[in-house]
Amino acid sequence: MLEFITKLFGRDNGSKNVAKERLRLVLVHDRASISPQMLESLKLDLIQVISNYMIIDEANLEVNLDSSGSTVALVANIPVKGMKRNAGDA
Amino acid sequence: MGEVIVVTSGKGGVGKTTSTANMGTGLAAMGYKVALIDTDIGLRNLDVVLGLENRIVFDIVDVVNGNCRLRQALIKDKRFDGLHLLPAAQTKDKTAVTPDQMRDLCAELKNEFDYVIIDCPAGIEQGFRNAIAGAEKAVVVTTPEVSAVRDADRIIGLLEAAELREPKLIINRLRPKMVKQGDMMGIDDIIDILAVDLLGIIPEDEMIVITTNRGEAVVLDQHSRSGQAYRNIVRRILGEEVPIINLDESTGFFKKIKKIIGLG
Ligand SMILES: Nc1ncnc2c1ncn2[C@@H]1O[C@H](COP(=O)(O)OP(=O)(O)OP(=O)(O)O)[C@@H](O)[C@H]1O
Ligand SMILES: [Mg+2]
């Protein structure tokens, strides 16, 4: 009976909500794709900031956007060669 | 000085050509001078939709190659003196025109026409880049489906990257009954997701098929919902505030009851 009533008033069980949710997810991924140029300039900025504190292996630095499920994360793998002596002081 | 508007979508077959023809015809019917450009080189359609296919002598590639003057390639509409079509070439491909050439072409047309409306091909390749090169405003057409809205989102991003900001959205082929039943995304759902302004809603309508078969524009049909919807879009382009028509099939309570007991 309840099912009949919800059908009657066109509530939440239609395919529309499935469509909306799928669309939302697919756009999270689509919109997370950034251009190679942007990623490159992000890398350069990161290197500059981190170099104030550590000596890093710039050649092997990796920065990527990782998207899984409904979330997107910025994942950076930055090999550290050494710490700067007075890093914390400034 | 006229205004150059590109009609685009990403996904194919969602109603770009139909919308271009109807906006153009509607504006011409109100006395404006309008030039329509078909940039779907190799797959030209706008001529047929407008019923002008038998009058083509020169096309857009002839113009940019200097085989003829722009005036010679412009085809005058059957009904409205102010409406002109610059047809696409059918035997060339999209690289036969460059974005720079499109920019010059639009600048020239703008001097003479109040509105220059560009029918963009599907996709995001050179045809798209040509179509948007000379445009100042953009209209994005979508249908209430996941794939079409997704492509519209991508197109909106590309338009913004090309400095064509604040595109306006047309949602085509909406079926109010299905929305009501919860089986089709509605206006608010789509607007929320895309975060753009709405230019109009066109219902799914047989009259579009019928008028297109005849090479006429539904915007001139006084009795159909889609005709009304396109007339409203035309008025919004002209800057009027026109409320979005309620496409509900007036399912009053009694109608609903009738439907349930099988009398509707
Ligand atoms: N609201 C509508 N109701 C019914 N039929 C429609 C509607 N809108 C468009 N159509 C039909 O859908 C088909 C595709 O429309 P149209 O050619 O305008 O799309 P398009 O986006 O230009 O396609 P393409 O990407 O191939 O250029 C046509 O046959 C047209 O008559
Ligand atoms: Mg088309």
Please provide the DSSP assignment of chain B as one string.
--EEEEEE-SSTTSSHHHHHHHHHHHHHHTT--EEEEE--TTS--HHHHTT-GGG----HHHHHTTSS-HHHHPEEPSS-TTEEEEPPPSSS-GGGS-HHHHHHHHHHHHHH-SEEEEEPPSSSSHHHHHHHHT-SEEEEEE-SSHHHHHHHHHHHHHHHHTT--S-EEEEEEE-HHHHHTT-S--HHHHHHHH--EEEEEEE--HHHHHHHHHT--GGG-SS-HHHHHHHHHHHHHTT---PPP-------HHHHHHHHTT--
* CA distance, residue B104 to nearest chain A CA (Å): 29
Residues A1-44 have pLDDT tens digits of 555 555 555 456 789 999 999 998 888 878 877 777 888 888 89
Please tell me the total number of residues recorded for chain A in this structure. Answer: 90
Calculate how far, in angstroms, residue B66's C-alpha sits from the geometric centre of ligand 2: 26
Q: Name the closest residue on chain A to residue B158, using Cα atoms.
A: A31
Tokens for A78, please give them: 């930055």
Q: Considering CB atoms only, which of A12, A16, A23 is closest to B149? A: A23
Any CB–CB contact under 8 A between A23 and chain B?
yes
Domain contains A33 = yes
A1 DSSP 8-state letter: -
Any CB–CB contact under 8 A between A18 and chain B?
no
Its domain, for residue A69, covers 2-83
What is the ipTM for the molecules in this complex? Answer: 0.80
Q: Name the closest residue on chain B to residue A11, using Cα atoms.
A: B182
Domain contains A88 = no
Calculate how far, in angstroms, residue B43's C-alpha sits from the geometric centre of ligand 2: 8
Ligand 1: atom nearest CA of B11 is: 25
Domain contains A68 = yes
Residuewise pLDDT in 10s, chain B (264 residues): 999 999 999 999 999 999 999 999 999 999 999 999 999 999 999 999 999 999 999 999 999 999 999 999 999 999 999 999 999 999 888 889 999 999 999 999 999 999 999 999 999 999 999 999 999 999 999 999 999 999 999 999 999 999 999 999 999 999 999 999 999 999 999 999 999 999 999 999 999 999 999 999 999 999 999 999 999 999 999 999 999 977 665 444 555 554 555 554
Domain contains A13 = yes
* CA distance, residue B247 to nearest chain A CA (Å): 17
Domain contains A54 = yes
Which domains are delineated in chain B?
3-260 (3.40.50.300)
Domain contains A90 = no
Domain contains A61 = yes
H/E run at residue A7 = helix A2-8
Q: Name the closest residue on chain A to residue B193, using Cα atoms.
A: A24
Any CB–CB contact under 8 A between B195 and chain A?
no
Contact B186 A27 (CB under 8 A): no
Contact B150 A27 (CB under 8 A): yes
Q: How many domains does chain A have?
A: 1
Domain contains A89 = no
Mutation test residue for ligand 1: of B90, B208, B225, the one with most atoms within 8 Å of CB: B208
